[in-house]
Copies of this chain bind each other. A is one copy, B any other.
Amino acid sequence: MASPRPGSNMSAIAAALGVSAATVSNALSGKGRVSPELIEKVRAKAIELGYVPSLTARALRTGRTGVLGLVLPDIANPLFPQIAQAIENAASNAGYGVLIADSRGDIATQTEAIGRLLERGVDGMVIVPRRGTRIADIGCPVAVIDTPSTPGNTVSADHWEGGAQMGRHLAELGHAKVLLIGTSISSNVQNDRIGGLKAGLGPDAECETMWIEKVEAVSGEGCPLGLADKAAAGFTAFAAVSDLSALRALTELQRAGIGVPEMVSVTGFDDLIWSPVVTPALTTVRMDMAAIADLAIAALMRAIESEGEPEGDENEVVAGRVTSETDRVPMQLVVRQSTGTANLHASSDARTPNKPTAGELKS
């Protein structure tokens, strides 16, 4: 009834060579004591017979499935492709598969999703928590990707420093009255970014923070943010904490006839898919997702490795949550066309786009 797996098993190799299955196992894994010649013969026979090991059987015997769970509490997040790609890549390099769990933003569903992953016997999980949700201690190693200021964080981009880079960039361009735009006031990541922005802009800059969720709670989802009024009130830069908000700001300002970047500058975060192709292309700050994923997976590997050991060095694993020695990865400022010098009273050049610059990146 069970569909016969393709290829053959160890017994087939063993039979073909007149040895025992255990020897085949040892030969292929290089663990036991097997003569070099036999190892070679086994390897050859394995290839000849198209042997593919049963990960299921191995999992049953060893208790390790070779699978990691990836929990993205807010899968609608446009960052998801980047994260998923980086994690999948790092995990598969480490020989692991990635099982996804979605919780559609709901906390209860998230718990249930984590439960399903546990039932499936994942060896560990990578969790990107939503809005600073604390992850309870579950029965397996967990790597948390949030922000360095979150307790229990394993590794993440240095959001604060990224904000500071952007703040300095704007300050250099002469912006002294800046509107900071975030979506949710309860997001640790966004608060870090805003903190960095303020620090980078310097103490003399006049900053105001707008939380889109609050505005929408009053005026409805997708409502105008009233940015034209802000521009009229003297704000010369709009620094959003996400490229999605930046895009929203950009189009709203353009629509109101306010030229970007001649009259006001607009910046975002994350270098999302549309950022390079909109007009003007968005100046933003990019995470090094590959590096973050590598560190997260590496920390997870260490935790899995040292699991089951008799309470050895306790400095690495605390309550199943792993930490990385380098827990913050630098962000990278990407200067494009949406930022320009501060122009308090925009004049006749308001409609003249600036030319794209040759070197787009600036560390």
Contacts and interface: CB of A to CB of B under 8 A. Distances in A.
A136 interface: no
A4 interface: yes
A31 interface: no
A172 to B, nearest CB: 24
A186 interface: no
Nearest to A123: B3
A76 interface: yes
Nearest to A304: B3
Interface stretch (A48-56, A147-155, A199-207, A322-330): A48-56
A21 B62 CA distance: 22
A5 B62 CA distance: 11
A78 B76 contact: no
A113 B85 CA distance: 12
Interface residues of A, number: 73
Contacts of A65: 56
Interface string A337-363: 000000000000001010010000000
A47 interface: no
Nearest to A220: B356
A255 B279 contact: yes
A224 B279 contact: yes
A102 interface: yes
A236 to B, nearest CB: 19
A357 to B, nearest CB: 12
Interface string A58-78: 011111111100100001111
A12 interface: no
Nearest to A88: B102
Nearest to A69: B97
Contact of A273 (B52, B76, B98): B76
A89 interface: yes
Given A81-B75, A248-B277, A255 B255 contact: no
A99 B102 contact: no
A1 B351 CA distance: 69
Contact of A353 (B5, B104, B255): B255
A70 B100 CA distance: 10
Given A88-B102, A97-B116, A57 B60 contact: yes
CB-based closest 6 A-B pairs: A2-B63, A254-B254, A251-B278, A252-B279, A251-B279, A255-B279
